[in-house]
Structure 1
Amino acid sequence: MPPQPPQPQVKQNILKVLRSFWGIIRILHIVFGAGLWVTIAANKYEGSIHFVLFVAVLFWLLTLGLFFVTLLDKQDLVPLLGGERWLCANVAHDVAAALLYLPAIGITIHMTEVKSFCNLEQYLHSCLYKVYLTASVFACLCCVTYLLSIIYGGRRKCRGERTVI
């Protein structure tokens, strides 16, 4: 039996989510978060960068889950957090992400400064300076997009709306 095409209502919801500010910002969260953890995980990392990797992977997975639940319009099926609480749950997630990305930014910037000695052309050994610099940029981009999402969700909540889009 061939697979059934998605229902027209599901297609409409997917397009509605992807065209919304919330959908675009969630896609940016996913892209920047993946950029951060792939940058770190693809290289030899050490010390406190483990925390940065933990934050990046945790919130990448949680954001991916929230995005797909909303994309498929199944938020009513999520126990305790779904339905009328979905907007608050998303804003709480974004607040937690922004708060944990702040120390992650500090760690990546600190590690970039620690490795700045090998940013010279004459330095011939392997160096993580560019890795940490790239990770700092991705961490900042993640934090900024989560802050934008908090503002958007908070504004919707203050207006009395209960949905993310």
Structure 2
Amino acid sequence: MSPQPPQSQMRENILKTVGSFWGIARILQIVFGAGLWVTIAANKYEGSIHFVLFVAVLFWLLTLALFFLTLLNKQDLVPLLGGERWLSTNLAHDVAAALLYFPAIGVMIYKTERNSYCNLEQYTHPCLYKIYLTAAVFACLSCGAYLIAVIYGGCRKCRGEQTLL
């Protein structure tokens, strides 16, 4: 039996990655994170919302990088963090993301509550309540996606596995 051509191996790895738990979790993290930062960035924001935007964009970019490195099976090219450490690297990333999303959720809930007065029909001035509420939901969904990945990755790590897929 002859070895598969590189395109066939690449296609097989992409399908394997996207169909795996990790692939689905990463796609959800990317979609929810993008929803959060686009919701905030498309509207006026100030003060502590800058922290939320920082967390959302930072982890969106890092998650995108981890996803594509795994998708293209190039994790061995990452010095110090790749190869046999790739599961630990992804687990550490997910833990850091979840921990920083918690205060971001708190900020969004606080801002949403502070603007709840303008949720009345009679209020005719521009209001950020619905935008902050939407951002709070996206922050919660993002955090949930990272927490699920933490639990799954932690279970794999405890079983002694070293590979991501």
Category of TM-score, reference length = shorter chain: over 0.9
1:46 Cα deviation from its structure 2 partner = 1.0
Matched AA of 2:119: N
Any gaps of 5 or more consecutive residues in structure 2?
none
Q: Distance in 2 between matches of 1:10 and 1:96?
A: 30
Matched AA of 2:121: E
Q: Distance in 1 between matches of 2:52 and 2:74?
A: 31
TM-score normalised over the length of structure 2? 0.96
Superposition pairs of residues 72-111 of structure 1, within 5 angstroms:
72-111=72-111
Any gaps of 5 or more consecutive residues in structure 1?
none
Matched AA of 2:57: V
Runs (4 or more) in structure 1 with deviation over 4 Å come to: none
Superposition pairs of residues 31-110 of structure 1, within 5 angstroms:
31-110=31-110
Q: Which residue of 1 aligns with 2:140?
A: 140
Q: Distance in 2 between matches of 1:45 and 1:163?
A: 41
Q: Distance in 2 between matches of 1:153 and 1:163?
A: 10
1:62 Cα deviation from its structure 2 partner = 0.1
Q: Distance in 2 between matches of 1:102 and 1:163?
A: 28
Q: Distance in 1 between matches of 2:161 and 2:77?
A: 19
Q: Distance in 2 between matches of 1:6 and 1:136?
A: 43
Aligned residues: 161
Matched AA of 1:54: F
C-alpha root-mean-square deviation of aligned residues, in Å?
Answer: 1.0
TM-score normalised over the length of structure 1? 0.96
1:6 Cα deviation from its structure 2 partner = 5.9
Q: Which residue of 2 aligns with 1:8?
A: 8
